[in-house]
Structure 1
Amino acid sequence: MWFANFLVAGSNTMILPFISLYIDTFGDYSDSYVQQWAGYVFAITFLVAFFFSPVWGRIGDKYGRKKILIITSVGIAFSVFLMGFASSVIYLFILRAFMGIVTGFIPTSIAFISAQTKKEEAGKVVGTLQTGTVTGGLCGPLLGGMLVDSFGFQYTFTITGAVIALASLLVIFGIKEVKIIASEKRKKNQKHFSQKEVLFIVFRNPTLIALMLITTIAQAANFSIQPLLALYVSEISTSENLAFLAGLAFSITGLGNLLSTRKWGDLGDHIGHHKVLMILLVFSPIFFIPQAVVTELWQLVLLRFLYGIIIGGLIPCITAYIRQLAPLSIQGEVLGYNVSFRFLGNVLGPVMGGIIASYFSVAVVFYTSGIFLFISAGLLWIASKKEDKKQAREVEWKETYN
């Protein structure tokens, strides 16, 4: 599973940093046009995925997640391959929309591994799996930059599709899904929830709601700058190897992720995932906002590396925390809703970034997203206080009536 995640993440990030440059090859467009459409093309995949992710989660809970992994990997490979033959921004937009239907390989793999892991070790194990994703994300932009500079966009898309197809073969022949069989007593006591009841559980729990909103905000902040990163690098660098340098600035965040993600998950298993999340959400804007005022490429690379170290723990800690809060029989669906909120952030971020950059500047995108990261820390603090009061009332009630 680690190698499959590595291949999918690496292949996806081969092309994502260069969407704006690819759009620019379709015609003689203004900078504001390219910036806006880069946001739209980047975001449409995640808008469609926002609606389909809970569906895949529910199907996975019922029929097994390996089937979902195969469907998504083959679908992604097919759509990416066709992107190399796009002749207009509309054609690219449609293909990215189709890709949204089958996007979800990495989130499904996280749910797949998490469901077969003890809750006490979930943060550490998911963190280990996440290293495969971030390692791929680290290598992908660098390799993609070299391929684009050397061979052009069409060959880069073709190679990317082939590598994702290889990941699907790894899943088909190398992954075995172990069905968790509950004891007879547990089966009798375990309730089966309808989709309406699952939604009721999610929206009634302030901590779950806070986690999903935090997921949206964090993803929106992170993705607000990604489609614009190549353009931003071109503003502070005069080098001819623009695609490679944009890939470097993009992937260095993945290196920070790689070095920290497992350690953050392990720390959350020991001291509590909500405490680790608070640390991450407070410190992430401290390294994100200063990226708006850099004057040299090395400054941007350093800040993005430090930012990557901080955000490396978000996914494993949020995933493990949700596992602690959600009943076993609906964990896949609840995680599916969390993935939907993540995709919602992936939609809002690029669109927000594109609009802000076109009206103001790319630097303003850093300021805006950093403020939202501070807001997400406040949401977690409020939810934690409500949870503490709820637990205190329950303890008081038990002491009163027992």
Structure 2
Amino acid sequence: MPFSWKRNLIVLWVGVFFCSTAYSISIPFLSIFLSDQLGVSNHLEIWSGVSFGITFLASALISPYWGSLADKYGRKPMLIRSGFSLAALYLINFFVHDPYVFLIVRILQGLLAGFVPAAIAMVATNTPEEKTGYALSIMSTAGATGSIIGPLIGGVVSYYSSNRSAFLFSAAIVLVSALIATFFAKEENFDRSAKRSRVRDDIREARSNRAFITLLLLTGISTFSVMILEPLLPIYLLDMGIAKNSASLSSGIVFSAVGIATVIMAPQWGRIGSRKGFGFILFIGLIGGGIGNILQYFVSGYVEFAILRFAYGLFYAGVLPSVNAMIVQTIEPGFRGRAFGLNQASTQLATMAGPIIGGLLGAFIPIRWVFVINGVMLLVAALLVKAAKLEVKVGEARSHGEGTEAGAGIKM
């Protein structure tokens, strides 16, 4: 059967959907799991932040290495490795009763993760250039759809059983992702004869591309913005007066609001970005996300808060897909696996720092002020996009890459 990028996109979309669902079944409720199942009562905000963040610190440190292996041996082996590893580790979490052992398992999850970034890199490398922005926007809806279904499943399981049982569901569902990657994902544009690079050389090459470095910074800021609130939302809902025995279910609904907004708007932003430029979409998304966060300071009711989170998600749905599309435009195909490995490192560092800083801020200031800090940060990032003339730099980098490839073709 001839290679079909559309078929591959569908297969990888399904794989990322199941992987994201598995993550969001159990992870958004870590603070409740730590309290109810592991007996953590003192400094719960800090424990929640560290439990979130330590996984992503480990992942940030290891992801450039996985990116280098992906360019040498292929992205599909990375999908298989991470899928089966995560399934085993989610299952182990079900049997953990000590918070320190739980932290060790979370570190291992970070070291062996990487399914979603590998899938994104695989789509970016095996999709026609003119369709890449659209394909990446479609891929973002996979994670968003998983973030809709996962918290609802996790909330229902936690409500009728326990947060511990949610890890069993996570293990079974991420196993589906691993099986999909093993039997259905295809990789065409891959040179197995290429020499494996060193991470130090990859970082040096990345530093020479100023547009790419700016995009890495924006990836970090955008991810940090989401993750700084992740461990605080269940606690914030409790402060609103939500009953503790229904906090997981209520949190699941709030988490899902942003996911629903992303599913609705991400493909639309992708189409608009293909016409008007992804720098424009990135700017609009950051402005809307910043204002949406600041407005959440003024909301005190659960229903109003969920509605506002949905509205915020409509704008923020365009941010990370736009960044990924601009990375593809900036980086030549042979470096994309390593580029997305470095992009994952930026994402994971931000995912690590966000919950830790969010947990610390939540311990010392009212949580509603964290929304204001978050919103101001996103508005500053939007100004950075304009001040750095990012879209112009991306266009220049793309033209330079096309010229280099044309020169290489002439030599042959």
> What TM-score, normalized to structure 1?
0.90
- Corresponding residue for 1:400? none
Conserved 8 A contact 2:124-2:136: yes
- From 5, 17, 31, the equivalent of 1:6 is 17
Show the 5 A alignment for 1:226-305: 226-239=230-243, 240-305=245-310
Secondary structure of the structure 2 residue equivalent to 1:129? helix
Show the 5 A alignment for 1:288-367: 288-367=293-372
Change (3 A) 1:274 1:48: same
Shift of 1:379: 2.1
Mark the runs of 5 or more structure 2 residues left unpaired by the alignment. Answer: 1-11, 401-412
The range that moved more, 200-209 or 247-256, is 200-209
Change (3 A) 1:148 1:197: same
Q: Given the alignment of the two structures, is residue 23 of structure 1 paired with residue 34 of structure 2, yes or no?
A: yes
The range that moved more, 231-240 or 34-43, is 231-240
Shift of 1:387: 4.7
The range that moved more, 253-262 or 154-163, is 154-163
- Corresponding residue for 1:111? 121
Shift of 1:337: 0.6
Change (3 A) 1:291 1:118: same
* Letter of the 2:211 counterpart: T
Shift of 1:181: 6.6
Secondary structure of the structure 1 residue equivalent to 2:139? helix
- Corresponding residue for 1:72? 82
Shift of 1:383: 2.0
> What TM-score, normalized to structure 2?
0.88
**Partners in 1 of 2:267 and 2:130 — Cα distance?**
14
Conserved 8 A contact 1:268-1:275: yes
Show the 5 A alignment for 1:373-384: 373-384=378-389
- Corresponding residue for 2:159? 149
Shift of 1:354: 0.4
Shift of 1:207: 1.8
Conserved 8 A contact 1:24-1:34: yes
**Partners in 2 of 1:22 and 1:83 — Cα distance?**
11
**Partners in 1 of 2:161 and 2:212 — Cα distance?**
46
Say how many residue pairs are matched. 385
Conserved 8 A contact 2:75-2:122: yes
Shift of 1:205: 2.6
**Partners in 2 of 1:77 and 1:390 — Cα distance?**
41
**Partners in 1 of 2:49 and 2:108 — Cα distance?**
17
Map Cα deviations across residues 235-267 of structure 1 (whole Å, 9 max, x no partner).
113344221001101111111111111111222
**Partners in 2 of 1:116 and 1:78 — Cα distance?**
29
The CA RMSD over aligned residues, in Å, is 2.3
Conserved 8 A contact 1:76-1:164: yes
Mark the runs of 5 or more structure 1 residues left unpaired by the alignment. Answer: 396-402
- Corresponding residue for 2:407? none
Conserved 8 A contact 2:68-2:196: no
Change (3 A) 1:368 1:55: same
Change (3 A) 1:172 1:355: same
- From 132, 136, 149, the equivalent of 2:142 is 132
Map Cα deviations across residues 110-168 of structure 1 (whole Å, 9 max, x no partner).
11111001222111011112222211111100110000011112221112111111211
